Structure formats: structure tokens, C-alpha cells
Amino acid sequence: MYDSDSFFSLTMAARIGLLLLSFGLAALTAAAFIKMTCRMAWPVRLLLAPVYLWIFVWLSPQVYYLYYMTLFDHLPLNSVVQSPPRPSQIMHLLSFTGKAALSQHATGVLGWGLIVLAIAGERAVPSTRLRAVLRL
């Protein structure tokens, strides 16, 4: 399914860097979601989960482009952020019916993770140390 994915055209070091960047961005998105919605009722959090995914899908390409600038020579400094994604694009990500690519499926997993965090609320942050970091 992923045989022709561009991820596999990268060197092993570049793949590891991309994975670390992706996990970091996902963790930042989840932490921001938890921090900003922790005092809200779960139905409101559930409505906000796709909004956070929408923001991630809209703005994260710039961070990835900056990473690719470190990998490939002669990439110009550009803004790659385009118009915000349509609701149908978010639905394709969440339903895994879009393009069969690792990045698309990983983004869908992030979306479902945000939905789980919305339903679980503060129970999703088990560690008291992590709670202290997020100041819940």
C-alpha cells in the first residue's frame, strides 16, 4: 500500500528525523488541545477536536517544508501554507478514505487521538508530573 510513498525515498537518518518531527508536532497538538480544553465539557471538547486537527492540517506543512529545506539543497524559503482545508478533507482524513499515504493515515490517527482525548478528558493524562507540566 505504501510502496511508492515518498517517505521511503529518504535516507534512514532523514526518515528518523521526519518521524521525530511528526511525533513532536502531534504531541504539541495534543498538549495544546488538552491545555486549552481541559476545563470544558466533553461535548465541547468533542466539537473542538476536529478544529485542532484542521489547524494542524492547515499549518503543519510549513514546518515540514522547513525540515525538507535542511535535507535538500536549493529549496527556496517559501510559504507553503495555503488556504485552510475544507471540511470534506478533514472527513477524508478521519475516515481514512483519502490518498493512501503514510502522512494522510498518520494525520487521521492524530485526529482520532484528539477525539479520544476529548472523550477521556483529564483521565487521559494519567501522570501527575505530566499534569503539572500542562498545569491542569
Domain contains 75 = yes
The percent of residues in the chain predicted with pLDDT above 70, rounded, is: 88
Domain contains 1 = no
The more confident residue out of 131 and 101 is: 101
pLDDT above 90 for 118: yes
pLDDT above 90 for 124: no
Domain contains 42 = yes
Residue 81 domain boundaries: 6-134
C-alpha count within 13 angstroms, C-beta hemisphere, residue 101: 11
State the pLDDT at residue 128: 55
Nearest to 108 by CA among 123, 124, 89: 89
Q: What is the mean pLDDT of residues 20-34?
A: 95
Domain contains 79 = yes
State the pLDDT at residue 30: 94
The more confident residue out of 98 and 65 is: 65
Domain contains 36 = yes
pLDDT above 70 for 10: yes
State the pLDDT at residue 2: 77
Instruction: Output the pTM of the full model.
Output: 0.86
Q: What is the pLDDT of residues 52-97, one digit of tens each?
A: 999 999 999 999 999 999 999 999 999 999 999 999 999 999 999 9
Q: How far is CA 25 from the centre of its chain?
A: 6
What CA–CA distance (Å, rounded) separates 54 from 5?
A: 23
Structural domains counted in the chain: 1
Domain contains 126 = yes
